């Protein structure tokens, strides 16, 4: 079963074809009608998306083009590694980064995959929170009523996704942000975007490190404490009937570590004598674990007082309080016995929040479910929606032991995911629907792109009928934009026993809106509109493509190489080529008075080629 074929039938293909026709006008030169690419080829199946590949310093001036860094030369006397094919390097980067750029392809081809991964782990990276703070302080200098803005966190993410050289770190961090979910689109993002940005920095910091350290950093981050309500959580009180909040205790098991059911190492469910799945925890486990997460609250510079515990202070007076790990207040920590997952923390005469937390997180991190549960989701986010049991088992085995006796080594896990034969061999059953964010980042890294303001100013919300359809770091709930086992009902994906998580955010509105968004991005850029410049903040440079518009085969060669890593994408190539050749390009007359008509036709050809490509299933499905 080909995932692209199944995905195409899961959305309204006719609607997308009509959207393409209405957006482009589909008229050729001299009034001739341009034939549309067949509907089953123009379908934007997942409805929304998202990307050059170089680092820029924080001092980059507004409007500066963001260059790729040059690939390093091999050391003198070194034996060059066996070079991989450029098409395979492109495919690898589609999985390991936010999209391939010409320079990043050369970087991969100059070394082995494992060497590239090791090098990426050592690349310096730029955090989001300092960028949010810098932008806030700049506004504050001219406006004393200014507040930190969550749109700055979104802009900082786009900057790193599109320009950072630490592509692997941020790509894995983005994957983790869809497992350890916290959303900017809510109270936490609105009231403390600096703290929320620091939470995402925490994911990036630990993306290629230790799962155990990541789990602790997540559990103690005040942004997560607010999001899942265990910040300032208090022990039971018989007199008032108060019980500890159980929200985080439940989700840290269900979503962040062990899942709902016991798993074999290959990710399949263990079954009881009645052939039913065996739950990993019950209500008593949740209640016992909730006691561990009492007594954790703000780490104030003014001291760990009751006022600080209860948040009775202005965060503008301690701007970075939301970026410091929560402090364990013994006076507010439950002394009761804590039973969960077969472990008992005895009643404490003196409350010890740090000791309780250590035991709880050790228990979760060492549970046999973590390897297959987290491993499968990382495979889904990076490589394929439907990994085989053998693929999951291989990744889980490395999670359990990286070959050097260490458990939870995420760098080793990611290396195994990206170098496994199922990742490096293309077949009809592999791949995944590209979510909207990754579609836009793929386009933005394939072609020159600049931010006029230098801020990569992308609003959190846009009109639904013209929206990309997904805002990074802004899932609607702790269950992410989509669930890992989502199946569109009643279609071929369902009947084939496959899953397609990203299609959960696809509907007729989002499919059409994606095409509208991409049309506007190609024609006039994307991001916030600047009323002074009368342009959107992020602008593509398609001049080299425009220069090829008089030669449609050469134009498609360039676009397909940039967006597919190869030129022979059939039958899409033949279909798009027929459309381009139907746009008449008149010869220049003797007086040169029709040069404007020629330039307009070239522009329409170039834009048509790009739009039909990014609206095609071949682009929307990552293989």
Q: Whose CA is closest to 43, among 618, 617, 619, 623?
A: 617
Note the pLDDT of residue 67.
Answer: 40
Domain-located, residue 189? yes
3-class SS shares of the chain: helix, strand, coil, % to 5: 50, 5, 45
Residue 57 zone, left/alpha/beta (φ > 0; ψ -120 to 50; rest): beta
Confidence band (pLDDT; 50, 70, 90) for 427? confident
The tens digit of pLDDT for each residue in 281-305 reads 999 999 999 999 999 999 999 999 9
Same domain, 156 and 43: no
Confidence band (pLDDT; 50, 70, 90) for 429? confident
Domain-located, residue 358? yes
Same domain, 108 and 150: yes
Note the pLDDT of residue 265.
Answer: 98
Same domain, 409 and 468: no
Q: How many C-beta atoms surround the C-beta of residue 623 within 10 A? A: 17
Residue where one domain finishes, among candidates 365, 400, 416? 365
Note the pLDDT of residue 377.
Answer: 98
Note the pLDDT of residue 82.
Answer: 61
Same domain, 41 and 68: no
Would you say 262 and 280 are in contact if contact means Cβ atoms under 8 Å apart?
Answer: yes
Domain ranges, residue 310: 247-256+281-365
Note the pLDDT of residue 410.
Answer: 98
Same domain, 179 and 68: yes
Domain-located, residue 465? yes
Please state the pTM of the whole predicted model.
Answer: 0.89
Domain-located, residue 274? no
Q: Whose CA is closest to 384, among 623, 96, 91, 179?
A: 623
Domain-located, residue 261? no
Same domain, 303 and 198: no
Same domain, 199 and 57: yes
Q: Is the pLDDT score of 6 beyond 80?
A: no
- Residue-by-residue DSSP string for 297-309: E---TT-S-HHHH
Same domain, 308 and 353: yes
Note the pLDDT of residue 54.
Answer: 37
Same domain, 61 and 184: yes
Residue where one domain finishes, among candidates 365, 392, 409? 365
Question: Residue 547 corresponds to which tokens in the numbers above?
Answer: 């220069």
Domain count, the chain: 4
Same domain, 293 and 324: yes
Q: Where are the alpha helices (DSSP H) in 434-551?
A: 436-446, 492-495, 508-524, 543-546
State mean pLDDT over 560-575: 95
Beta-ladder partners of 433? 621
Tell me which of 119-123, 332-336, 424-428, 450-454 is least confident.
Answer: 424-428
Domain-located, residue 236? no
Q: Is the pLDDT score of 320 beyond 80?
A: yes
Q: Which residue has the higher pLDDT, 567 or 125?
A: 125
Question: Residue 60 corresponds to which tokens in the numbers above?
Answer: 């980059």
Domain-located, residue 316? yes
The tens digit of pLDDT for each residue in 436-445 reads 999 999 999 9
Same domain, 63 and 191: yes
Would you say 363 and 341 are in contact if contact means Cβ atoms under 8 Å apart?
Answer: yes
Same domain, 191 and 97: yes
What integer best gives the mean pLDDT of the chain? 89
Domain-located, residue 231? no
**Buried/exposed code over 162-182 (b: 16+ C-beta within 10 A; e: otherwise):** bbbbbbbbbbbbbbbbbbbbb
Distance CA 434, CA 515 (A): 14
Q: Whose CA is closest to 460, among 186, 191, 221?
A: 186
The tens digit of pLDDT for each residue in 62-94 reads 343 344 444 444 444 444 556 789 999 999 999
């Amino acid at each position: 079963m080909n995932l692209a074929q199944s995905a195409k039938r899961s959305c309204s293909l006719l609607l997308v074809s009509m959207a393409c026709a209405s957006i482009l006008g589909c008229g050729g030169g001299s009034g001739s009608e341009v034939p549309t690419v067949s509907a089953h080829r123009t379908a934007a199946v997942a409805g929304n998306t998202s990307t050059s590949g170089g680092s820029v310093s924080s001092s980059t001036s507004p409007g500066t083009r963001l260059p790729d860094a040059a690939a390093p030369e091999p050391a003198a006397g070194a034996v060059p590694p066996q070079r991989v094919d450029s098409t395979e390097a492109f495919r690898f980067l589609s999985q390991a980064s936010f999209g391939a750029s010409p320079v990043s392809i050369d970087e991969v081809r100059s070394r082995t995959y494992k060497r590239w991964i090791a090098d990426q782990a050592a690349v310096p990276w730029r955090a989001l929170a300092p960028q949010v703070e810098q932008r806030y302080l700049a506004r504050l200098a001219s406006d004393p009523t200014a507040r930190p803005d969550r749109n700055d966190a979104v802009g900082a993410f786009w900057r790193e996704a599109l320009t950072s050289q630490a592509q692997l770190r941020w790509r894995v961090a983005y994957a983790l942000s869809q497992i350890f979910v916290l959303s900017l689109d809510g109270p936490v993002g609105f009231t403390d975007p600096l703290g929320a940005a620091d939470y995402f920095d925490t994911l990036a910091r630990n993306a290629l490190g230790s799962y155990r350290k990541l789990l602790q950093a997540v559990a103690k981050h005040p942004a997560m404490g607010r999001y899942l309500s265990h910040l300032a959580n208090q022990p039971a009180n018989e007199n008032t009937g108060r019980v500890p909040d159980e929200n985080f205790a439940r989700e840290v098991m269900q979503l962040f570590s062990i899942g709902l059911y016991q798993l074999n190492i290959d990710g399949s469910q263990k079954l009881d004598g009645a052939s039913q799945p065996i739950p990993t925890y019950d209500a008593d486990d949740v209640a016992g674990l909730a006691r561990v997460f009492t007594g954790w609250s703000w780490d104030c510079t003014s001291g760990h007082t009751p006022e600080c515990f209860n948040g009775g202070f202005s965060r503008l007076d301690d701007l970075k309080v939301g970026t410091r790990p929560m402090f364990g207040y013994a006076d507010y920590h439950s002394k009761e016995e804590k039973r969960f997952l077969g472990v008992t923390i005895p009643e404490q005469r003196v409350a010890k929040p740090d000791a309780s937390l250590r035991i709880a997180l050790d228990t979760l991190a060492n549970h046999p479910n973590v390897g297959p549960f987290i491993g499968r989701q990382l495979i889904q986010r990076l490589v394929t929606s439907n990994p085989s049991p053998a693929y999951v088992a291989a990744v889980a085995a490395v999670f359990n032991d990286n070959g050097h006796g260490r458990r939870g080594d995420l760098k080793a896990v990611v290396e195994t995911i990206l170098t496994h034969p199922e990742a490096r061999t293309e077949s009809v059953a592999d791949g995944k629907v590209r979510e909207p964010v990754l579609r836009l980042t793929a386009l933005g890294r394939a072609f020159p792109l600049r931010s006029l303001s230098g801020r990569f100013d992308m609003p959190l919300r846009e009109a639904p009928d013209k929206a990309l359809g997904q805002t990074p770091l802004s899932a609607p709930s702790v269950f992410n934009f989509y669930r890992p086992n989502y199946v569109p009902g009643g279609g071929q994906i369902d009947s084939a026993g496959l899953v397609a998580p990203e299609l959960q955010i696809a509907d007729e509105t989002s499919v059409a809106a994606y095409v509208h968004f991409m049309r506007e991005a190609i024609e006039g850029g994307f991001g916030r509109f600047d009323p002074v410049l009368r342009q959107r903040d992020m602008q593509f440079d398609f001049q080299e493509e425009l220069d090829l518009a008089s030669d449609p085969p050469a134009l498609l060669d360039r676009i397909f190489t940039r967006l597919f890593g190869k030129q022979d994408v059939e039958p899409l190539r033949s279909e798009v080529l027929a459309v381009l050749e139907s746009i008449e390009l008149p010869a220049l007359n003797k007086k040169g008075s029709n040069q404007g008509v020629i330039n307009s036709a070239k522009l329409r050809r170039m834009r048509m080629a790009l739009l039909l490509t990014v609206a095609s299933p071949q682009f929307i499905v990552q293989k």
